[in-house]
């Protein structure tokens, strides 16, 4: 993102408002016209998506997975008991739901709960479900405000409230599913949420797996001189203002209206093009279905995405870094990074020095931030080794996977 992109996005949003005003001006004279507009097919809507579209695109994407699964909307109520934060700051008792998929598994398999990252949803793990379901009881969720889950108005005003939004909603989901003693995996922002959950509810988590987790370092921890210098430039000042104004990439997608799918297609094509190996990350059909899924999850109502400025300062530095809580860790932890991940594994190394529980750090070659998509075989090897004490009768005899790096 830069100054040019800012001007471009502002123009898009202005044009969107003009188009909406035109439609409203033409259709405002009678109640009959207003009623008929609600039945417009999606192709005629400015933003051609809905919750039904999200679930349908998820189903199409997961048709690539051979393992049978059950999709359900798990009722988490209107707010966590005893919490000052309702999911939507309303006097209404309207329940909210967490979109959940559970895959068939062998009886007695350890339970693995998977939590996605920012601007993603559980479908991003589609290339991993078959392999992992052969070893684990795999349950994947869309966090509150993301994917096919409920999207309450996001009105949190602090880091503490924002963390409660995600951690407490996950705990209500756990209660509704009657789960305990599970392995908890979180990617990127989902890693931050998973770690915060394990700090608050360690009794339910057997093992914590953090995949390219966000939120380990703060701007005050040093190594941010470049950010101070950049913020002093006019471009940095604009971007910092956008960040503090809670401008999100999803607003660009919505602003483009019916042209949003094309922007998302360009993003997914570029993001998952061969970078770290000669092979394509996604086959043609995978790319098409993932692009469709990503569009519908990004273009839907803004909710969980608005957490960004409360959890991170400009530059993606955590406002309440996990590093500062490392000495309080009570759950054995494995970190998994792609070798080219832009998330710095050195934050995990610093945290490990303060931890009083077992901690391993693995780096997967030929992969970046989306290690589970970019090198699924390497990611699966890291997963099996990380969970060897749950999967093998002789965990200490398991050989270290070839190609995997231990940090």
pLDDT of residue 223: 57
Q: CA neighbours within 13 Å on the CB side: how many for 79?
A: 14
pLDDT tens-digit map of 352-384: 999 999 999 999 999 999 999 999 999 999 999
In a domain, 230, yes or no: no
Residue 22 has pLDDT above 60, yes or no: no
- Between 34-43, 70-79, 337-346, the lowest mean confidence (pLDDT) is in 34-43
Q: State the Cα–Cα distance between residues 394 and 248, nearest whole angstrom.
A: 48
In a domain, 306, yes or no: no
Residue 48 has pLDDT above 80, yes or no: no
**Which of 143, 142, 126, 150 has its CA nearest to residue 290?**
126
In a domain, 154, yes or no: yes
Which residues form the domain of 388? 52-221+316-406
In a domain, 116, yes or no: yes
**Which of 367, 311, 355 has its CA nearest to residue 190?**
311
The pair of three-digit structure tokens given for residue 334, joined into one six-digit string:
């494995």
pLDDT tens-digit map of 99-132: 999 999 999 999 999 999 999 999 999 999 999 9
Q: State the Cα–Cα distance between residues 162 and 7, nearest whole angstrom.
A: 30
Question: Which one-letter DSSP state was computed for residue 209?
Answer: E
Q: What angle do CA 239, 240, 243 make, to 5 degrees?
A: 85
Q: What is the mean predicted confidence (pLDDT) over 198-209?
A: 98
In a domain, 165, yes or no: yes
Question: Which one-letter DSSP state was computed for residue 109?
Answer: P
More confident residue, 266 or 274: 266
Query: Which residue's structure tokens are 């908890």?
Result: 184
**pLDDT band of 91, cuts 50, 70, 90:** low
In a domain, 75, yes or no: yes
How many folded domains does the chain comprise? 1
In the chain, the percentage of residues whose pLDDT exceeds 90 is 65
Q: What is the mean predicted confidence (pLDDT) over 311-322?
A: 88
C-alpha distances (whole Å) from 396 to each of 241, 390, 391, 392, 393 are 52, 12, 12, 9, 9
CATH number of the domain that 116 lies in? 3.40.50.1820
In a domain, 72, yes or no: yes
Q: What is the mean predicted confidence (pLDDT) over 134-138?
A: 98
Highest mean pLDDT of the ranges 36-45, 88-97, 398-407? 398-407
The pair of three-digit structure tokens given for residue 375, joined into one six-digit string:
């090198």
This prediction has a pTM of 0.86
Does the CA dihedral 280-113-77-312 come out positive or negative? Answer: negative
Name the phi and psi angles at 228, rounded to 5: -60, -45
Q: What is the mean predicted confidence (pLDDT) over 23-36?
A: 32
Residue 36 has pLDDT above 70, yes or no: no
In a domain, 70, yes or no: yes
Name the phi and psi angles at 246, rounded to 5: 65, 35
Residue 67, judged by CB atoms within 10 A of its CB (0-12, 13-18, 19+), counts as: middle
The mean pLDDT value of the chain amounts to 85
Q: State the Cα–Cα distance between residues 146 and 122, nearest whole angstrom.
A: 9
């Amino acid at each position: 993102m830069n100054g040019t992109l800012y001007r471009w996005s502002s123009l898009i949003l202005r044009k969107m408002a003009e188009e909406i005003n035109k439609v409203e001006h033409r259709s405002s004279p009678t109640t009959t016209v207003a009623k008929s507009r609600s039945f417009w097919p999606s192709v005629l809507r400015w933003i051609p998506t809905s919750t039904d579209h999200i679930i349908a695109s998820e189903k199409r994407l997961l048709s690539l997975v051979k393992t049978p699964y059950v999709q359900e909307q798990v009722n988490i109520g209107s707010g966590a008991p005893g919490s000052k934060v309702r999911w939507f700051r309303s006097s209404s008792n309207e329940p909210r739901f967490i979109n959940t998929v559970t895959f068939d598994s062998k009886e007695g398999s350890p339970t693995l709960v998977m939590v996605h990252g920012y601007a993603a949803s559980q479908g991003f793990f589609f290339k991993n479900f078959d392999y992992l379901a052969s070893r684990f009881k795999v349950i994947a969720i869309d966090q509150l405000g993301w994917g096919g889950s409920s999207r309450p108005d996001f009105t949190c005003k602090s880091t503490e409230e924002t963390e409660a939004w995600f951690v407490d909603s996950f705990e209500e989901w756990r209660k509704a599913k009657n789960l305990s003693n599970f392995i908890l995996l979180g990617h990127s922002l989902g890693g931050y949420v998973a770690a915060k959950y394990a700090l608050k509810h360690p009794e339910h988590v057997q093992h914590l797996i953090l995949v390219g987790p966000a939120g380990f370092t703060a701007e005050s921890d040093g190594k941010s001189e470049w950010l101070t210098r950049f913020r002093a430039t006019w471009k940095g000042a604009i971007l910092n203002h956008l960040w503090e104004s809670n401008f999100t990439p999803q607003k660009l997608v919505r602003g483009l209206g019916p042209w949003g799918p094309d922007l998302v297609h360009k993003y997914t094509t570029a993001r998952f093009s061969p970078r770290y190996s000669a092979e394509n990350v996604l086959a043609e059909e995978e790319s098409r279905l993932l692009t469709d899924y990503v569009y519908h999850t990004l273009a839907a109502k803004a909710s969980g995405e608005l957490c960004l400025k409360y959890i991170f300062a400009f530059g993606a530095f955590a406002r309440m870094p996990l590093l500062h809580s490392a000495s309080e860790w009570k759950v054995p932890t494995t970190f998994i990074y792609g070798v080219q991940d832009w998330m710095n594994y050195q934050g995990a190394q610093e945290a490990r020095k303060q931890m009083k529980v077992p901690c391993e750090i693995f780096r997967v070659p030929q992969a970046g931030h989306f290690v589970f998509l970019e090198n699924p075989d390497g990611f699966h090897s890291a997963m099996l080794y990380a969970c060897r004490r749950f999967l093998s009768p002789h965990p200490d005899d398991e050989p270290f996977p070839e190609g995997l790096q231990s940090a």
